[in-house]
């Protein structure tokens, strides 16, 4: 009996440590379909979830958010192992996958629901995000005013299931949208002088 109880306690301790090792980060970079792939490629990223945050409506639907009336932003929530990938690396990937100069949205998508933003979940993330923005501004890589905002995280609502891993479920439609939106062409123009961190 004592061995059995000891085994249970060891299992609980291990589970607790595993859970503690998982952290989350939230980024708004326009269409959430396009923000999942670069994070899914990173070693240490456990999962990505498309969703909505920052609005005033409870449990918003895609229709609510896409109308622009709910106040939410399309975001991707990244679950990651901080022992394998750092928050700074996640920030590096974020910047080179958005257009920080666009104050109207991202690429072909205009509206407040497509604005670029970093949603910090704690003080460490806030400081890291602010420092990464400062470094980017001082580097003078981008010629123009940075429109990306840094905001405290609010309640996250996962998007409908058909949006999750859309690029895997509907690869042809995804690539057609991404190409038609001019995302890769604009990213190449913005970041061609920068060594990508992945």
CA distances in angstroms from 30 to 73, 90, 132, listed in the order given: 8, 16, 19
Residue labelled with tokens 């969703």: 51
Q: Which residues pair with 75 in a beta bridge?
A: 51
* Active-site residue set: 31
CA distance 18 to 50: 23
Question: Vertex 21, ends 162 and 41: CA angle to 5°?
Answer: 45
Kindly compute the dihedral angle of the four CA atoms of residues 86, 197, 133, 180, in this order, to the nearest 10 degrees. -120
* Residues 101 and 147 sit within 8 Å (Cβ to Cβ): yes
Q: Which helix (H) or strand (E) holds 49?
A: strand 45-53
CA distances in angstroms from 195 to 54, 131, 189, listed in the order given: 32, 19, 13
């Amino acid at each position: 009996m004592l061995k059995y109880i000891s085994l249970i306690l060891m299992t609980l301790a291990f589970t607790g440590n595993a859970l503690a090792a998982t952290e989350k980060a939230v980024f708004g970079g326009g269409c959430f379909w396009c923000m999942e792939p670069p994070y899914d490629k990173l070693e240490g990223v456990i999962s990505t979830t498309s969703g909505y945050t920052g609005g005033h409506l409870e449990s918003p639907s895609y229709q609510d958010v896409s109308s622009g009336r709910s106040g939410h932003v399309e975001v991707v929530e990244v679950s990651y192992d901080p022992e394998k990938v750092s928050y700074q690396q996640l920030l590096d990937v974020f910047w080179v996958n958005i257009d920080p100069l666009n104050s109207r949205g991202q690429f072909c998508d205009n509206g407040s629901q497509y604005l670029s933003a970093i949603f910090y979940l704690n003080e460490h993330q806030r400081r890291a995000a602010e420092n990464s923005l400062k470094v980017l501004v001082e580097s003078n890589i981008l010629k123009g005013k940075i429109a990306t905002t840094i905001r405290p995280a609010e309640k996250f609502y996962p998007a409908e299931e058909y949006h999750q891993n859309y690029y895997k479920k509907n690869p042809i439609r995804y690539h057609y949208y991404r190409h038609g939106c001019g995302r890769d062409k604009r990213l190449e123009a913005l970041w061609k002088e920068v060594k990508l961190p992945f």
